[in-house]
Chain A
Amino acid sequence: MVTPSTIDKLFNMDTLVKEPAAKATISDTPSTTPKTMDQHTQPSSAASTPSATETKPVIEIDNVSFSYDNGKTNTLRDISLDIAPKQVTAFIGPSGCGKSTLLRCLNRMNDLVETSMISHGEIRIMGQDIHAKDVSAIELRKQVGMVFQKYNPFPKSIYDNVAYGLRIQGIKNKSKLDEAVEKSLRGAALWDEVKDRLKTSALGLSGGQQQRLCIARTIAVQPKVILMDEPCSALDPIATAKVEQLIMDLRQDFTIVIVTHSMQQASRVSDRTAFFYLGELIEYDETNKIFTNPAEQRTEAYISGRFG
């Protein structure tokens, strides 16, 4: 090993910072005030100071097992992971390992399957057990929005698509709606492309634009968490890059969980990565660690294309 003496002469060693400012997202200062769920869950708990709630995990998955057939078989087994605020977390793993299932647990989309059940454990979002009796799925989904693989705008105008969730919430005031629609479309990096055709059908947009419109529709209601299930799998490289840029921008305000089959996408956009295999969480760590030096042999085999 070369002795540092030569470098010493050239640089003041104190100025050489080894670690760049990593993990900045954790210490992001809150830009929004706590929303309904907070108030809902912690009516007047003096113990939870604002700073404590911001650094606390937004999503806590606690020993969760999940079954599609009334508990006969568990599709997810004993999953535990915490997701910190304003982080992008990628779920990766082979087809059928349960990524979408877990994602759909987070906003109770699986409720639609009648025989489905959480057979063990608990999921908390902002401290609230999402299966508690007093939490409605509709309330939950205001806080936990979802963007799907197959972009699915409604057969309505661009404007109406974005205003949809707000109107459901009872907002009728036109200037308020206009303002929210513009803000959301800007937030989804779509405003400049559609501002002159807001009243035309959303179905006339390109695939990439439709996917960003769906993201605009999701962020319009200001959720805390955005779930994305393979949001770019039907998009070309340019549209994919735009959505990825958007994900990185949205991280300032939202906590994002993204399911992706692209290892490159996971390494580009996410802070942490969870690798699932056959319904189990095998490894969950900083994305950089997972893709340069994973701890588990199975993770390494999967990400480097060694699974037989």
Chain B
Amino acid sequence: MHTGGHILDSFNDSLTEFKSTTLMMGSAALRNLDNSIRGLIERDKTLCNQAIAADDDEDLLELEVDRQGMAIMLKYRPVASDLRLVIATMKISSNFESASDLAVSIAKRSRKIIKGQEIPRVTAIEPLYELVSTMLKNAVTAYSDLDLNQAIALINQEEEVHKMHKKISRKFSREVENECPEYREYLNILFICRWLERIGELAIDIAEEVVFAASSEDIRHSDDIPSSVLEAAANQTNQA
């Protein structure tokens, strides 16, 4: 729960650094996602290229998080909430890395799309993008504060993101089926829709790790959020 308060200052410092490296990965993933979609909508190749180039940094940060996590395990033998934080963080960083990889896929595909002719209906993707981008942003802050309420809210958005994906992709597939002149472009946008949905799922995976770090309940692959987690979330609200 708390990274402060250890007798060993260096333990506190290492945990703080470890967390902030991971948070940097989170904001980089967000920025890359942003650039890739804006590149598509604004037909700006530079933005796409930025998202693609920035992914190298994300890869390096992921290696750095793992290195730091291993050093913390080795030196301080974390237990209880510290142990859960270290384990959750290493998984969360890999989720951020995957999100950034998906942003690269989106950027590459966008670059291809904007080489072709203008597609009037491209802005239809915006609601899906906004939903997913907000989810990823919330995943970053839920992790930053180990906020159970925010994590639970994210997990509860699972259906929403699937529905939104279905709704938006239906619009684009209609264009493809109608064999409109830009049907190739719309086909590529369908891929992008799927990758956006996948980023939403990653945000939920991150939220599940936050729940583990903050409450010790492993809720992956389960249908309901256990009452102990809801209680812990209520406690967090009361303490705030």
Contacts and interface: CB of A to CB of B under 8 A. Distances in A.
Given A294-B80, A305-B11, A4 B6 contact: no
A90 to B, nearest CB: 13
Nearest to A16: B221
B177 interface: no
B220 A1 contact: yes
A292 B221 contact: no
Contact of B82 (A299, A304, A308): A304
Interface residues of B, number: 25
Most chain B CB within a 10 A radius of its CB, from A4, A304, A306: A304
Interface string A285-308: 000000111100001110111111
B79 A1 contact: no
B216 interface: yes
Interface string B2-40: 000111100100000000000000000000000000000
A264 B80 contact: no
A305 to B, nearest CB: 5
A305 B204 contact: no
Nearest to B208: A1
A308 B79 contact: no
Interface of A: 1-2, 4, 7, 263-264, 267, 291-294, 299-301, 303-308
A275 to B, nearest CB: 11
Contact of B6 (A1, A263, A294, A305): A305
B79 A292 contact: yes
B60 to A, nearest CB: 29
Contact of A306 (B7, B155, B222): B7
Contact of A1 (B82, B83, B84, B204): B204
Contact of A300 (B81, B158, B219, B223): B81
A264 B73 CA distance: 12
Interface of B: 5-8, 11, 76-84, 155, 158, 201, 204, 208, 216, 219-223
Given A1-B158, A292-B80, A306 B6 contact: yes
A304 B221 contact: no
Contact of A303 (B5, B79, B84, B223): B79
Given A307-B7, A308-B7, A1 B81 contact: no
The 3 closest A-B pairs by CB, nearest first: A293-B216, A306-B5, A291-B79
27 contacts: A1-B208, A1-B219, A1-B220, A1-B221, A1-B222, A1-B223, A2-B201, A2-B220, A2-B221, A7-B221, A263-B79, A291-B80, A292-B80, A292-B84, A293-B216, A300-B80, A300-B81, A301-B5, A303-B79, A303-B80, A304-B6, A304-B82, A305-B6, A305-B11, A306-B6, A306-B7, A308-B7
Contact of A305 (B7, B201, B221): B7
Contacts, number: 53
A300 B222 CA distance: 27
A304 B216 contact: no
Contacts of A264: 77
Among B80, B208, B222, which residue has the most Cβ atoms of chain A within 10 A? B80
Contact of A304 (B79, B155, B201, B204): B79
Nearest to B224: A1
A10 B222 CA distance: 17
Contacts of B5: 301, 306
Nearest to B82: A304
Q: Output the residue of B5, B11, B155, B208 with the most chain A CB within 10 A.
A: B5
B222 A304 contact: no
A263 B221 contact: no
B29 to A, nearest CB: 20
A157 B177 CA distance: 93
A24 B30 CA distance: 48
Contacts of A305: 6-8, 11, 76
A7 B221 CA distance: 10
A292 B87 CA distance: 11
A198 B27 CA distance: 68
B94 to A, nearest CB: 16
Contacts of B204: 1
Nearest to B1: A300
Nearest to B217: A293
Contacts of B80: 291-294, 299-300, 303-304
Given A1-B155, A305-B11, A263 B77 contact: yes
Contacts of B216: 292-293
Identify the interface centre among A264, A293, A308: most chain B CB within 10 Å of its CB: A293
Contacts of A299: 80
B151 to A, nearest CB: 12
A152 B5 CA distance: 40
